Amino acid sequence: MKEQEPHYKPQPNDGTEWIRLPLKAALLAWRWGTETVVTCLMAIMVGTIILQVFFRFVLNDPLAWSEELARYSLVWITFLGAAVAFRHGGHIVIDTLVMMLPRGAQSILAWVVDVLIVVALLILLVQGLKIMEVTSGVKATMLEIPMSWVFAAIPVSAAIMLAYQVERTIRKIKSAKPTSLA
């Protein structure tokens, strides 16, 4: 019978534990929290829609707030779900042309794509904060919450994806093999 490997493999002492372990723990907690929030929001959205159908068609007395709650839940599910998919590499990738390139060119292109991802996420973060500022005085019609809370999904998801991109970049740098110039 084969002995199972331990879940935790000790890492060599390279002097980076002080940053690596807390960062890893924070990202793990962040990932768990994000996935939990998405799951809860999905349950809230589905529950609200079922409740609305019951009130509208059985009791003939529709709820005024349910459509807004379902819609704003969907906004948060969409953006946080994008962050979860980003973490798991779940977004669509078309790499047919990239795979035809030599390994060196593939590596360079991968770094260019990583930089472009960071730039796009920074733009999303900054513009999301601007949208929040513009909508801070506007309230939702039925729920009467600030619309900036709804639009906060944009910079929050961008910040989460930036954290995941930093993690991905650190892993990529750690796994890179030194190349000889000779």
160 within some domain: yes
Alpha helices in 54-175 (DSSP H): 66-88, 96-100, 103-134, 147-151, 153-175
109 within some domain: yes
70 within some domain: yes
Average pLDDT, the chain: 87
Number of domains in the chain: 1
Neighbouring CB atoms inside 10 A of 100's CB total: 9
Contact 70, 142 (CB under 8 A): no
4 within some domain: no
Mean pLDDT of the 140-161 span: 96
Mean pLDDT of the 171-175 span: 82
Asked whether the predicted pLDDT for residue 182 surpasses 50, the reply is no
163 within some domain: yes
Displacement of CA 17 from its chain's centroid (Å): 25
180 within some domain: no
153-175 and 66-88 helices cross at what angle (nearest 10)? 10
| Residue 162 belongs to domain spanning | 22-90+97-173
How many Å apart are CA 60 and CA 49, to the nearest integer?
15
16 within some domain: no
* Residues 112-143: tens digit of each pLDDT: 999 999 999 999 999 999 999 999 999 999 99
CA-CA distances (angstroms) from residue 72 to 67, 133, 161?
9, 18, 20
41 within some domain: yes
Better-predicted residue by pLDDT, 98 or 54: 54
* Residues 33-65: tens digit of each pLDDT: 999 999 999 999 999 999 999 999 999 999 999
